Amino acid sequence: MRSILSLSILLSLGTATSSQAADAFVPVLVPVTGFLAVEGASQRDGALLALTNPPAGVKVRYDVSDTGTSPEVAVNAFARATGDGTAIAVVAPMLGTQMLALLPVALENKLPLLTISGTAAITQKGNPYVFRFFPDDATTKSAQVRFAIEQKHIKKPAIISQTDAYGQSGGAEIAKLLKQAGVEPAYQESVDVSVKDMSPIIAKAKAAGVDSLLLHLHGGSTALIVKAVAAAGLDWTIVSGSAISQPATVELLDPADLKGVCGETGSSPISAETPEIATFLADYTAKFKHAPDAFSLAQFDATSMLLKAMADGAKTPEDVTKALSSGKFKGLGMTYYSDGKGNMAHSAVVICYDGKSRIPAVAQHYDAPTP
Amino acid sequence: MLLAQLSLNALILGAAYALVAIGFVLILNATGAVNFAQGDLVMVGGFCGVGLAGYLPVSGLVLLPLVAVIMGLLGMAIALCAYFPLSRRPPEAMLISTIAVGIILQNGANLLFGPDAKAPPALLGNGDWRVGGLVLSQQGMAVLLVAILLVGSLQLVFSKTQLGRRLRATAQDRDVASALGIPVNTMIAATFGVGVALSGIAGLLLTHTFFVTPTDGGNYMLKAYIAVVLGGWGSLPGAVAGALLIAFFEVIFPSLPVVAPFLANVPGASEMFTQTASTIVFDCLVLVVLLFRPQGLFGEAMQVRP
């Protein structure tokens, strides 16, 4: 009841609509309230930056709806946004449970969904209308574990993951990859997002004799554990999940706390590796008054691929679906193409902090060979 | 030494939780209704510190009285808008109105500060003192000291002052208090002010270390509610004891195999002494306590005469 009321208020306040009814319509359905609000806002802003700067000749109309945290709110938002039959594609929420609920509806309406959800199952259902522009756990966790073993030479890692679906799938992937590499975790723990005091985890990891932490946590928990390790003066190698690449997470920590901390991510726009990404960083920061993260860039690239398809003549949802499933697009973060299941992103990077600033450097690229 | 360090951490956490629980009990006693916005008011206290720090680059200790005053005024405003218009309605009306207040606060914080986690300034500083192997964080010690001072001051006000006696009389029986000439509505508004100010202070104390996001309120609400149920519905010492128990369980239970190494050899220890399992075990213990002492640890056994 509480979340429904909350969402109703926000839905009425937080929408943005452009006005030209005859143009192609792209609903942006993203979670901008609830526990995924930070990431959802990044997704929204990435999409909006692309939609407000379409290629020459492309006219596009868009509308932002908050999907909150529940699947039914996402399905209702989808029904509202696509009810008049003018939508050509949908920027779909990054929350896996919402995506799973949207899959059958998208199939029924034959509407392509462009998402950055990391949930593996969404591209395992044989649905031809789903396109994921963020590397899945198999890609990012592989980068995380390979970097930890090959570059940091870890021997006795601890795996700390969140208790939710996100944490469980990532934690299991890390454990699987470590096993494949012949490395036995010295300690494993799952943490609820409400856990504030990380001292029990630190104490147990210390007692287990770990030399490193492999984290797969949301931003708040990641910041808490990095801070706790720094406060305890431990020199453990920390290779985190993508949360450590988010500017909002890094803002919570002193640069000194971050010394030597690394983490996987799809991309690191704040590192401005290329002139194109530097331009994106400047445009995004000027427009939204905060720095972009990997989710912003991924959704920007996804929406840009959609707009490119429209510029190349896609006029219907079927045209867009065909263009996305068979085309290749060189985005800012990587080159995107479908693996036949709708997985479009096949690269990851590992970033590291030097302890002097909150801007990480890209330490390693992990790219799948482009076909 | 590890046990001492963990106990200190738990004490600091519990002291801040206790302020939330006391604020909850004060309003509960004054109105007879559960304030479901109490957790969101902790969140607002944290954001209040973040917002004030944007204008006044001073330490958290200087911001603390400002946060207390602002939150106290907010508490009185909540009394005026969400309690008094419904005070003659069934208790469910107050329950719904405080849920609505919580939703408004949560979404208001989201609109004003955004969804990102934020941290207000430290009360004193971020350094540590090391005493005989114990690491005493400046922030942690300041939190403990402020909480002890506040709880002590409240105890003094309630037991030694005319205002305290009036507040207690109002909490015990509003009709009789009114008949004795006590301005009951003023007392209730003041109680809202004090209760909400305590939650706001707890927010400022907790969120420098643990950060604050607009959705954090539910978690604090749950802790306050369990602390009060466990300690004894309406009991101030019970609320403090309940809050400390929660904190000690959160910190000590998952660490037991390290504190008492023989436990590490117990079959299933690695699954039993986890953060997740500790929540399950704690809630089971709460149920056991309520089974044998339905009035809670410090509550008085009461029965309604047929």
Q: How far is CA A149 from CA A125, A136, A143, A163, B228, in A?
A: 33, 20, 10, 25, 48
* CB contact set of B245 (below 8 Å; sequence gap of 6+): B14, B227, B230, B231
Each residue of B97-156: pLDDT tens digit? 999 999 999 999 998 998 888 999 999 887 888 888 888 889 999 999 999 999 999 889
Chain B CB within 8 Å of residue A289 CB: no
Let me know if the fold of A2-135+274-338 is the same as that of A137-265+349-367: yes
The residue in chain B having the minimum alpha-carbon distance to the alpha carbon of residue A197 is B251
Looking at chain A from residue 1 to 30, which residues have their Cβ under 8 Å from any Cβ of chain B?
A: 1-2, 5-6, 9-10, 13
Each residue of A112-152: pLDDT tens digit? 999 999 888 899 999 999 999 999 888 899 999 999 999 99
Among candidates B194, B190, B45, B176, which has minimal Cα distance to B120? B45
Chain B: give the shortest CA distance to residue A230, in Å: 12
In which residue ranges of chain B is pLDDT below 50? Answer: none
Burial class (CB in 10 A: 0-12, 13-18, 19+), B113: middle
The residue in chain A having the minimum alpha-carbon distance to the alpha carbon of residue B221 is A194
Mind listing the pLDDT tens digit of every residue in chain A (371 residues)?
Answer: 444 444 444 444 444 444 444 589 999 999 998 878 888 999 999 999 999 999 999 999 999 999 998 999 999 999 999 998 899 999 999 998 999 999 999 999 999 999 999 888 899 999 999 999 999 888 899 999 999 999 999 999 999 999 887 888 899 999 999 999 999 999 999 998 888 889 999 999 999 999 999 999 988 999 999 999 998 889 999 999 999 998 889 999 999 999 999 999 999 999 999 999 999 999 999 999 989 999 999 999 999 999 999 999 999 999 999 999 999 999 999 999 999 999 999 999 999 999 999 999 999 999 876 65
Residues of chain A contacting B13 with CB distance shorter than 8 Å: 196-197
Each residue of A90-109: pLDDT tens digit? 999 999 899 999 999 999 99
Instruction: Give which of B13, B99, B210 to mutate to test A binding, by max A Cβ within 10 Å.
Output: B210
Domain covering A137-265+349-367 assigned CATH 3.40.50.300 in the classification: no
* Domain segments of chain B as ranges: 2-215
The amino acid that residue A293 corresponds to is D
Of B115, B254, B275, the CB nearest to A37: B115
Q: Do B210 and A37 touch (CB under 8 A)?
A: no
- Element of type H or E holding A63: strand A60-66
pLDDT the model gives residue B304: 58
Chain A: give the shortest CA distance to residue B282, in Å: 14
pLDDT the model gives residue B306: 61
* Domain segments of chain A as ranges: 2-135+274-338, 137-265+349-367
CB B217 within 8 A of CB B103: no
Q: Do B99 and A231 touch (CB under 8 A)?
A: no
Looking at chain B from residue 5 to 64, which residues have their Cβ under 8 Å from any Cβ of chain A?
A: 5-6, 9-10, 13
Among candidates A122, A135, A195, which has minimal Cα distance to A160? A195
CA atoms within 13 A on the CB side of A35: 19
Each residue of A304-346: pLDDT tens digit? 999 999 999 999 999 999 999 999 999 999 999 999 999 999 9
Q: How far is CA A192 from CA A40, A350, B3, in A?
A: 20, 25, 23
Q: Do A249 and B6 touch (CB under 8 A)?
A: no
The residue in chain A having the minimum alpha-carbon distance to the alpha carbon of residue B2 is A203
Chain A: give the shortest CA distance to residue B236, in Å: 24
Of A191, A203, A231, the CB nearest to B275: A191
The amino acid that residue B151 corresponds to is V
Residues of chain B contacting A206 with CB distance shorter than 8 Å: 258
Instruction: Give which of A10, A195, A206, A224 to mutate to test B binding, by max B Cβ within 10 Å.
Output: A195
Separate counts of helices (H) and strands (E) for chain B: 13, 2
* Greatest distance between any 2 Cα atoms in chain A: 65
CB B204 within 8 A of CB B63: yes
Chain B CB within 8 Å of residue A204 CB: yes
Q: Which homologous superfamily is A2-135+274-338 in?
A: Response regulator (3.40.50.2300)
Instruction: Give which of B36, B244, B258, B278 to mutate to test A binding, by max A Cβ within 10 Å.
Output: B258
